[in-house]
Amino acid sequence: MKRNTLTVLLCLFVTAFMTASNYGVDNFAMGEYALAKKWFEQQVSQNPAESNYYLGEIAFKEGNVDAARTFFDKGLAADPTSALNMVGKGKTLLKSSEKDADLLFKAALKTDKKNMTVNLAIVSAYKDNGMAEQAAAKLNAAKKAGKNDPLVYIYEGDEIMAGKSETRVQDAAGKFSQAMYFDPSNAVAQMKYAQVYLLTDSYDIPVETEKKVVEAHPDYSIAIRDLAAGYTNKGMYNAAIENYKKYFELGSYTINDIRRFAQSYFFNDQFQEGLKLTQEGLKLEPDHFVLNRLRMYCASELKDSLGMEYAAKFFSLRSGQGEDAKFIYKDYLAYAKILADAGRFEEALAQFDKVLSFSAEEKVDKGDVYVAQAECYTKMKQYAKAGDMYEKYIVTFGELTKVNIFLEQGKSYYNAAFEIKNDSTEAGKALLIDYVTKADSAFAKTSRMAPDSYVGYMWRGNTNVMLDPESTIGLAKPYYEAAVAAIMKKVDAGDELTAAYKNQLKRAYLYLAVYYYKANDKTNAVLYCTKVQEITPAEKVSKAIMDAYKAMETPAAKTPTPAK
């Protein structure tokens, strides 16, 4: 019994809280008619006059004049003095009997001539019936009735946004700002002000404005949604996702809300979550252009086996249905990656060429294209071509090139050199030197850009071994020593001596052990052999060197040759 009583009290509290927030009226003012309709249908028994009025307005906007008139009549039956329902009924009569409509409008104003909601309802009645001249006259009368009323400025801001002026965003923002000046707590003015700035590069304004609305009205799902959109514009995707989750928990979201949420997941590199959300949206609207695009993008990043199927579906959709419904270069880039992952390399390369052909029409991020092409050539084991694609990236971006690009370029040329290291022809030897030189140059840049990392030094050591395979000249020696120093510096600073570190140390120590053995430096050779065996006790080369030194201690023994 107590539990049932508590439940009733909580329901009454929530109802009172939401009523105080003008939830239905504000959603109607925001153009969120589905939310408003749902709310007023729930409230019709408690507030029949107001609820029937707004249900009638929504019906009228949906083009159902007869249904609208029925709602207005119900509202008047509940309260014959309801000014708004008088205006609503007059609105349905304007085209058939302007005189009768005018009588209803006058009767409504007699109840409260300065009531701005009633005044603006009359303005809207003329405007929604296509009677622009009369609507303008009634708006002027409304302004005289309450020149400092925020509702006037909200109305004018809406009218500006509905127009096509090149300055409509700035002008509308000015009107909503004036409404906020006269009523700083007006949630509709704040939300509309934020929505206007979502269309600009002023990313902080929507976030800070909507945060105030949500703080005052935590039940306003539209404010939560637009706050998420503001965070998305700022690139704060974790915050955007957090707010989209709150918004979706409230249950009143559209297919476009699903799109926006999925985009936030995608831009936050949460491709699995993005893919799942696009699949849910496509159950509702299988041919939704942008959701099909996002599904393909996520599949491309995830290397999903269904990527080809998703791509086929996306490219089967008709392009040209509005700004969002046209194919862009990123579509072909994602498709090219899917083809490459499927082993269809020649087709992938053709798509990459198509991507680059977009450069005359839109700004293509050539960096993405060059990297994707390089990865495709790597899968084809055409390593030199992969290195050349990274070089195109470097030439294009110059000093803005990130360290990982130089590292990947170095690996590409290293792999190209490794494949021909046993080619004894003059052409083969020349090509080997060319690839090794290019690899070493790339790794040198890697080391300069990340001097505290062992990676660049290690790869320079690996590369130079190919020019000194017998380890007699010591071309790789300074780089392996630098790699060891970099690793040990990290370990001394508190890093764990991981398996990855140990593998790199073993490789460097083994090279140094062989080098010193061949240089007849027993002290250092034994030192590095010992270091190798501390990591891998059974390592064969270091063991052979140590056995060789032991044999040397026996005068009659023949010195064995260590394994290479």
pLDDT band at 499 (very low <50, low <70, confident <90, very high): very high
Residues 186-205 have a mean pLDDT of 94
Tell me, what's the pLDDT at 109? 93
Give which of 356, 355, 364 is closest to 334, Cα–Cα. Answer: 355
- What backbone torsions phi and psi does residue 4 show, to the nearest 5 degrees? -65, -40
- Quick check: 485 pLDDT over 60? yes
Tell me, what's the pLDDT at 356? 86
Q: Which of the 8 DSSP states describes residue 299?
A: H
Task: Classify domain 148-253 by CATH number.
Answer: 1.25.40.10
Distance, CA of 542 to CA of 470 (rounded, Å): 15
pLDDT in tens, 96-106: 999 999 999 99
Q: Which of the 8 DSSP states describes residue 362?
A: S
Tell me, what's the pLDDT at 563? 54
- When mean pLDDT is compared across 52-56, 153-157, 366-370, the lowest value belongs to 366-370
Residues 205-221 have a mean pLDDT of 94
Task: Take residue 453 and report the two structure tokens written for it.
Answer: 């990392």
Give which of 348, 351, 400 is closest to 379, Cα–Cα. Answer: 348
Tell me, what's the pLDDT at 357? 84
- Positions of CATH 1.25.40.10 in the chain: 24-146, 148-253
Task: Take residue 135 and report the two structure tokens written for it.
Answer: 């609507």
Residues 299-315 have a mean pLDDT of 96
- Quick check: 564 pLDDT over 80? no
Task: Take residue 420 and report the two structure tokens written for it.
Answer: 């021909």
pLDDT in tens, 12-26: 333 333 334 588 999
Q: Which helix (H) or strand (E) holds 150?
A: helix 150-162
For residues 202 and 222, the answer to whether their CB atoms sit within 8 Å is no
Distance, CA of 170 to CA of 187 (rounded, Å): 20
Residues 314-328 have a mean pLDDT of 74
Tell me, what's the pLDDT at 21? 52
pLDDT band at 123 (very low <50, low <70, confident <90, very high): very high
Tell me, what's the pLDDT at 282? 97
Tell me, what's the pLDDT at 253? 86
Residues 234-240 have a mean pLDDT of 95
Alpha-helix runs per DSSP H in 44-80: 48-61, 65-78
Residues 380-397 have a mean pLDDT of 96
| 230 vs 321: which has the higher pLDDT | 230
Q: Is 498 left (phi over 0), alpha (psi -120 to 50) or beta?
A: beta
Tell me, what's the pLDDT at 22? 83
Number of H helices, E strands in the chain: 30, 0
| 16 vs 38: which has the higher pLDDT | 38
Tell me, what's the pLDDT at 17? 35
**Residue indicated by tokens 């294009």:** 396
**HSE-up of residue 54 (Cα within 13 Å, Cβ side):** 27
- Quick check: 5 pLDDT over 60? no
Tell me, what's the pLDDT at 7? 37
**Residue indicated by tokens 């979706």:** 248
Q: CATH fold of 24-146, please?
A: 1.25.40
Per the prediction, the chain carries an average pLDDT of 91
- Quick check: 1 pLDDT over 50? no
- Quick check: 261 pLDDT over 70? yes
Distance, CA of 206 to CA of 232 (rounded, Å): 11
Give which of 277, 285, 282, 239 is closest to 260, Cα–Cα. Answer: 277
Tell me, what's the pLDDT at 324? 63
pLDDT band at 382 (very low <50, low <70, confident <90, very high): very high
Tell me, what's the pLDDT at 318? 74
